[in-house]
Amino acid sequence: MLKAVSMAMPTCAVSCFKLPRKLCKDITASMANYWWGETDGKSKIHWLSWKKMAMKKNEGGLGFKDIEAFNKTLLGKQIWMVLTKPNLLISKVLRAKYFPNDSIFKCKPQKNAS
């Protein structure tokens, strides 16, 4: 249940915004703290390292996602959508706002960009 809830909560934010590395680490630390926190003032046993828990299930892990890599993947998916489906409304809006004269690969981030 922890994995289902904790991985679903940041999905909207990570698909729209590039999160700072510190925030990604804080989210991961919160998940680990909940998993290994303490009960009645006693620390829980760390049965697995977080690195092992973040491995894929078929590789012996529990399948937790690396938040920073997940963020980059979902933002890449947005770029792919803009490139492959240029007639969608969101593609037109993003193109008009962020790169009206250039390619998405040549545009510079604006100061007011999110």
pLDDT in tens, 81-106: 999 999 999 899 988 888 888 888 88
pLDDT of residue 17 exceeding 90: no
Q: Is the pLDDT of residue 113 over 70?
A: no
Is residue 80 over pLDDT 90?
A: yes
Query: What per-residue confidence (pLDDT) applies to 35?
Result: 76
List, in sequence order, the alpha helices (H) in 1-114. 2-8, 11-16, 21-36, 50-53, 67-84, 89-98
Which pTM value belongs to this model?
0.72
The pLDDT-based confidence of 72 (bands split at 50, 70, 90) is very high
**Nearest residue to 28 (alpha-carbon basis) of 56, 53, 46, 60:** 53
* pLDDT interval class at 1 (50, 70, 90): low
